[in-house]
Amino acid sequence: MESLRDLRAPASLRAGALELAILAGHVLLYPTGLAAERPERAPRPRDGAADEPPNGPADGRPTGQPGGRADEGRATPLPGRGAPDHPPVVLLHGFADNRSVFVLLRRSLSRHGWRHLECLNHSLLTCDIRTAAVALGHRIEGICARTGHKEVDIVGHSLGGLIARYYIQCLHGDQRVRTLVTLGTPHSGTTVAPLASAHPVVRQMRPDSEVIEELRGPAPGCRTRFVGFWSDLDRLMVPVETARIEHPDLNTENVQVTGVGHLALPVHPAVTAAIRQALETTHPTGVPDSISIA
């Protein structure tokens, strides 16, 4: 056992140094992501492309939730002739963060053929995951109406993945979301930083919270495909396996990442390459079971 700790120590030190470097860079970029991106006008939807899902736009969700229309991401141009017509990709950041965390991932997707990418800021004043999920549903309806696509894909980092999963699993969002990719998301709840539980959203990320209990409930017929990236050195996920998606009713794949921490998941080139693979197909082939980062 001691020898295993010795082997892990260098990797842990490297991951810690990388986390600090990423944190420093993100502090510099953070102000650039405070303002919401403005959506561009897109061509009129294809006939019938943006019809309401069978269960309606999330069961009577109220309007005017934090992070509503004003927080929609800037719509990039639709694919040109001959380019793959990927569904729009919605990028959702984590707790106390903003869209600047996705600068590198967005650039990577854009360079590889994705033409419609939207980074959404959920409000810093949001104190309830359910409310944030309702607001997400409104924004996705707007994205589908603007782009003419019936479905979107979502990439959620940390809390962002939990908000997206709640929308999909509890608000009929599976009618709109083809694939959800989560990065370091506490699907079973995390016990890290007990003092942070003063914030209501942090309390909802605890293993015994009502939100986590709802997500453990039955989800028969859920159409969305889930891909969960989890890291063995993620210090914010306690235990680290909580970032795995485990549910008997869901179509799930889990990708173990070794050698990086929580902040590196949205930015490391090896992880972003695997995210692209996950979004390119609705089948498990081509998506790795694990990624080792030296």
- The pLDDT of residue 126: 84
- The pLDDT of residue 10: 76
Residue bearing the bigger pLDDT, 70 or 11? 11
Mean pLDDT of 188-214: 89
Mean pLDDT of 18-32: 79
254 close to 184: Cβ distance less than 8 angstroms: no
Mean of per-residue pLDDT scores for the chain: 82
Residue bearing the bigger pLDDT, 113 or 16? 113
Indicate the range of 9-18, 47-56, 137-146 predicted with least confidence.
Answer: 47-56
- Minimal CA–CA distance to 138: which of 228, 76, 67, 188? 67
Q: What is the pLDDT of residues 132-189, one digit of tens each?
A: 999 999 999 999 999 999 999 999 999 999 999 999 999 999 999 999 999 999 999 9
Residue bearing the bigger pLDDT, 235 or 30? 235
What is the spatial distance between Cα 175 and Cα 16, in angstroms, rounded to a whole number?
A: 40
Q: What is the pLDDT of residues 91-135, one digit of tens each?
A: 999 998 888 899 999 999 999 999 999 999 987 778 999 999 999
- Dig out the tokens for 57 from the structure: 């736009």
**How sure is the predictor about 23, in pLDDT bands with cuts at 50, 70 and 90?**
confident
What are the Cα distances from residue 204, in Å, to 97, 130, 238? 17, 10, 15
pLDDT above 70 covers what percent of the chain?
Answer: 78
- Minimal CA–CA distance to 39: which of 147, 152, 176, 137? 147
- The pLDDT of residue 52: 47
**How sure is the predictor about 7, in pLDDT bands with cuts at 50, 70 and 90?**
very low
- The pLDDT of residue 54: 44
Q: What is the pLDDT of residues 64-98, one digit of tens each?
A: 333 333 333 444 444 444 456 899 999 999 998 88
What would the DSSP string read from start to end of 204-217? Answer: HTSTTSHHHHHHHS
pLDDT of 48 over the 60 cut: no
Q: What is the pLDDT of residues 242-292, one digit of tens each?
A: 999 999 999 999 999 999 999 999 999 999 999 999 999 766 656 788 888
- Dig out the tokens for 6 from the structure: 């010795």
**Where do the H-state alpha helices sit in the chain?**
2-29, 103-111, 129-147, 159-170, 200-204, 210-216, 269-280
